[in-house]
Structure 1
């Protein structure tokens, strides 16, 4: 998956699974403060990406994730690790 594909899928997940207003989703949007996601939502997001990419995503990799762009970066790293 490319970064653009990951970003598009993330936007889709945020809107469909967490009912986030699409207008609020920007690369710099903060997951907790701007998009109102909590830690349980973050786990759900990780699980959905694991199902999509077929690779294990470690929760530890997401401890420093704060923004939409951070999520895209971490998922892209998992995808490109081979």
Structure 2
């Protein structure tokens, strides 16, 4: 179902894609997914959900995520930055 995104995608487009993933995978209302939303406190994800999200990001980018690259991710904007980093490698 998911398709890899292109390297020329904007941060806003990455955010829209993340909103879709969070809605489809975790049933999170896209209106709650803002750049400053904290994954664990605002969106109520847990550590297992974070692993699932990392896998979704890998699928989205077609790139493998090193655990240390995703360990510091706390906000939606951190996820966007991680996707951007993966796409520019």
Report the TM-score, using the length of structure 2 for normalisation. 0.83
Q: Equivalent of 1:10, from 8, 18, 24?
A: 18
Are 1:52 and 2:60 matched, yes or no? yes
Structure with the higher helix share, 1 or 2: 1
What number of residue pairs does the alignment pair up?
A: 81
Q: Which runs of 5+ in 2 are unaligned?
A: 1-8
Are 1:29 and 2:37 matched, yes or no? yes
Report the TM-score, using the length of structure 1 for normalisation. 0.89
| Displacement over 6 Å in runs of 4+ | none
RMSD between superposed Cα atoms in Å? 1.1
